[in-house]
Amino acid sequence: MIETADKPLALRRYQPSDYDACRKLWAELTEHHRQLYDDPNIGGDDPGAAIDAYLKDERLRGPWVAVHEGRVVGLAGLLLEGEQAEIEPVIVTSAHRGQGIGRELVRHLVEQARALETRFLSVRPVFRNARAMSFFAEAGFGLVGQVELFQDLKPEAGRTWRTDLILHGRPFGY
C-alpha cells in the first residue's frame, strides 16, 4: 500500500473485473490525444475500443492498475520483446493526476522490467505532450533511441503542426 494525497493507493495486476474502468481510462487518454492534435478522429467512433487489442497483445506483461479508495484510477503495462520492454500505456484519470499515481505506476514497471532482466526500457509519449515528456524525463527516461518520422498524407482542414523543433540542424513539425 502506498500513501498518496493522505489516502492509500494499491497497485495490483489487472483483473477482468477492471475492464470497464480501464476502458474508460483508455477513452480518456484517446480524448486527450484528440485535443493535443486537434483531431476528433483519433481513436475512431469508439475511443475506448483499442484496449481490446491491447489486452490481447502477446507481448503484454501485466498490466497493472492503481486503485484509490476502491476505484481503478490508473493503468499501466509492459510490452516485452526479447531484452527490450516498452511501458505502454501509463494512464491516470484526470481527477487523480498530480498525486504521484503515475510516478508509482512507472516505478513499479521499472522494477518489473528489471525482474524480467530487460536490457532496454522505453516509453513513447506523444511528442506534442510536453507534460508527458517532462514526466518521463523526471522518471529517468533521458536517452533518445529513435525518432519516428511521418508524412500527413491526408491533412485535415484546420489541423496544424507545430514547426519549432530542430533536430540535427533540420526543422521538423510535430
Residue-level pLDDT at 174: 87
Per-residue pLDDT band for 157 (boundaries 50, 70, 90) equals low
What is the DSSP code string of 79-144?
EEETTEEEEEEEEE-GGGTTSSHHHHHHHHHHHHHHHTT-SEEEE---TT-HHHHHHHHHTT----
Per-residue pLDDT band for 154 (boundaries 50, 70, 90) equals confident
Q: What are the residues whose beta carbons fall under 8 Å from the beta carbon of 23, sequence distance 6 or more? A: 48, 51
Domain limits, the chain: 2-143
Q: Which CATH architecture has domain 2-143?
A: 3-Layer(aba) Sandwich (3.40)
**Structure confidence by residue, pLDDT tens digits, 43-96:** 999 999 999 999 999 999 999 999 999 999 999 999 999 999 999 999 999 999
**Structure confidence by residue, pLDDT tens digits, 106-137:** 999 999 999 999 999 999 998 888 899 999 99
Q: Which of 27-31, 63-67, 74-78, 143-147 has the lowest mean pLDDT?
A: 143-147
Residue-level pLDDT at 37: 84
Give the chain's mean pLDDT. 92
